[in-house]
Each structure stands twice: as structure tokens, then as C-alpha cells.
Amino acid sequence: MTAPWRPAANAVRRETATASAPTAPAEHRDRPPSLRAAGLRWFLGLAVIFAVLAGTGRLVTGSLASWPPLRSEDGVNRYLALHRDHVLNSVSGFFSNVANTPSAIALSAVAFVVIRLLTRRWPEAVFVAVALVSEVSIFLLTTLVTERGRPAVPHLDQAPPTSSFPSGHVAAAVTLYTAVALILRRHRAPWPVWLLLLVPCAVAFARLYRGMHHPSDVVAGALLGLLCVLLADRVVLATTRPRVTGPDRRSPANPTRPGGSPTGRRTRSRRTTRSHSGSPTTGRPAPR
């Protein structure tokens, strides 16, 4: 005698087995990379950024120096030097001093402590520190391999012994204020925090106005700052974001609730049997 075919029961068994399958334990979730991996990623990023800045410096001071718009840079510096006044001298002096070495170190230390106290987390504070250390390291290395004099105009500040390319003031300002703005936005601060980026813009104008840098030096400094912030984000913040993969990932569109089904209701099976006469029934005796 052939066993009765029960399609509904088989389907229920398959659904129940799928729903009751064990989920991936916490050990199978993506873990942040180790400290060694983060350090390797950081050094590789430093090498790439240094290669970009050093190569750009060689081009700006070498084969591209006579190309437009680089050959017009001296005209920009001369124009600003001819239109100086007491008000702009004072304002530009303030913003130039905001980004000098002592001020940058002090403001960075304050930002590190304040971010640590407000967020009560280390990654955000370490992110700012890594970005600034990266900027200082690449700046010093780039000035060692790139020789460029200051603009041929009267200088309102004392010229440091380093090369004019890139602008260290602009690089430090872009790195610090961009990193702080990103941290604030990450913690739901309102959009006006992006106004902090006006400070690096003011520093860039101040360095041009005071005859301390060529326009391409300022652009290279801004590029250096942005690349260092991006590197710190990939090394520090990207490795601390929670990432979960596997069957235990839940999405708002299909939440998993107790019971094994998306709606939380337990699946009930109504077994279909066959009577002796061959007609399907639902388990109740057939009428006579």
C-alpha cells in the first residue's frame, strides 16, 4: 500500500526547519581589524599621500612652473601686496597666528580633551590626533624634498626656514577644523558646524595677503589637510563602526521576531489526510 502524499505537511516541515535554523553567533560578526592592521594601513596611506605631495611639488617647481596658471601666481601676490591696509593687516595677522605652530598644538590638545570628555569615547579623539600627526609628518617630509622660495613681495610675517610648498598653516587649519566638524556632525550637531571651515579659508587668504605663500602652496596645503582627514577616518573611525553580517542581520523591512516568522506568529499546520475512500479530509471522520 502506497504511503499517502502529504504536500502541506512537507511544506510546513521545510518552513519550520528554515525558521528554526540557528543564527550566526556573535563570534561570526565582522570584527574591527587589529592594531597591527590599522597601523599598516596608516603607514601605507602616509606613503601614498607623501608621494602625491612630493610629486606635485616637483611638477610645480619644475616642468609646470612656466605653464598657466602657475606663471601668473606672482601677479596675485603683487596685487595683494599693493592693496594692503591697516584693517586687513590686523585681521590677516590674527588668522595667520591662529594656525602657526604653537597655536595649532594648543588648539589640537584642547580639541582632543574636549572631544574625549563630550563623547566619552576614545575613537573620536584619536581620530583628530591621527589626522594632525599625519599632516605634520607629511608636511615636514615634503618640505625636505621640495625647494621653493617665498613670493618676491614684502613679507608681513617672519619666514620660517621650511620650503614655501606646501603651506603648513593652511594644512594644519584644514586638518583640525575639518576633523572637528566631522566629529560634531557624527554626533548629530546642527549644520552650522560646517561654518568652522571658514577658518581655514580665512587662514589661506591671510597667508596669501601677507606674502608668505604662492597660491599653489595654499592649494597644496588644503589638499594635504583633506587627505590626512580622510586617512584618519579610514584608519580610526571606519574600523570602529559596528558591522554585522550573516543570518542575524535584521532590517526594518523584515524584522525577525520570536516564533520563527516575520510577524511573530507561530506557523500552524493542518495536516491533510486521506480517508479510505480516497477523498482528502482535515482529520475529522467523513460523514456516512
Whether 11 is covered by a domain: the verdict is no
CA distance linking residue 242 with residue 153, whole number of Å: 53
Domain holding 114, by residue range, is 34-237
Percent of the chain with pLDDT over 90: 55
Whether 189 is covered by a domain: the verdict is yes
Decide: 12 and 260 in contact? Cβ < 8 Å: no
Q: What is the pLDDT of residues 197-239, one digit of tens each?
A: 999 999 999 999 999 999 999 999 999 999 999 999 999 988 6
In three-state secondary structure terms, 111 is helix
Higher pLDDT, 134 or 16: 134
What would the mean pLDDT of 183-202 be, rounded to a whole number? Answer: 90
Whether 16 is covered by a domain: the verdict is no
Cβ neighbors of 184 (< 8 A, separation 6 or more) are 193
Q: What is the pLDDT of residues 50-107, one digit of tens each?
A: 999 999 999 998 888 888 888 889 899 999 999 999 999 999 999 999 999 889 999 9
Whether 116 is covered by a domain: the verdict is yes
pLDDT score recorded for residue 191 = 84
Whether 17 is covered by a domain: the verdict is no
Whether 285 is covered by a domain: the verdict is no
Whether 8 is covered by a domain: the verdict is no
Whether 23 is covered by a domain: the verdict is no
Domain count, the chain: 1
